[in-house]
Amino acid sequence: MAASILLVRHGPSAHLHTAGAIDRTGLQQWFAAYDTAGIAAATRPPTALLQKAAEATRIVASDLPRAVTSAEQLAPNRPIVVSALLRETSLAIPHWPTRLPLGAWAVLIHLGWTYRMVRGPDPHESDRDRAATAAELLAGMVADGSTALVVTHGVFRRVLAQQLLRLGWTCTGRRGGYRHWSCWSFTRPGGNR
């Protein structure tokens, strides 16, 4: 029986930005508030993802509220294994001398991230090590051929996916790309042998 790990990006955050242009310190404060927020009340997971959650043997989530509340929506009344190993990777905030709209900050941060990916040192070694530990943990959870649905974050999911591939897992689908509620599927015949 093939073991499966489904890596799901959490639903949209309940934290909204309404303050206009902000400086670097304001952006750091925004990220801190983002990390304490759950998901938007009106958001609902796609039906196909709810079905995958219903079929999963285990539900696992990052310890950040947006991941935990997403897991609770996907699998109400089921136990959720919560782990800080699955937290989001921190992306570098550029030192910019002026205030910018949140969208402009996002563009600068993601341009920096893309540049680091092209140059090679992305992800940071500590994130790679954390992802390797998380991949081993998840592989152990499904070594009996079961399925784990794992709610994590956009950037960390990419790093975790790389580690699963290094362990011999096969990516069988990347439904939804990097969008909220997107699901990347990995299988390994015979569990974690």
Residue 2: its H or E element: strand 2-9
* pLDDT value, residue 91: 86
73, 11 contact by CB (below 8 A): yes
Residue 27 has a pLDDT of: 92
**Domains of the chain, first to last:** 2-189 (3.40.50)
Q: How far apart are CA 49 and CA 104, in angstroms?
A: 32
Structure token pair of residue 32? 């801190």
Residues 6+ apart with CB under 8 A from 21: 99, 100, 101
The per-residue pLDDT for 38 is 95
85: nearest Cα among 65, 104, 63: 63
Cβ(62)–Cβ(159) under 8 Å?
A: no
Mean pLDDT by 10 residues, the chain (193 residues): 95 88 94 94 96 98 98 98 96 89 92 83 84 98 98 96 97 94 92 49
Beta bridge partners of 183: 8, 175
Entry pTM: 0.92
CA 65, 135, 182 angle in degrees (round to 5)?
50
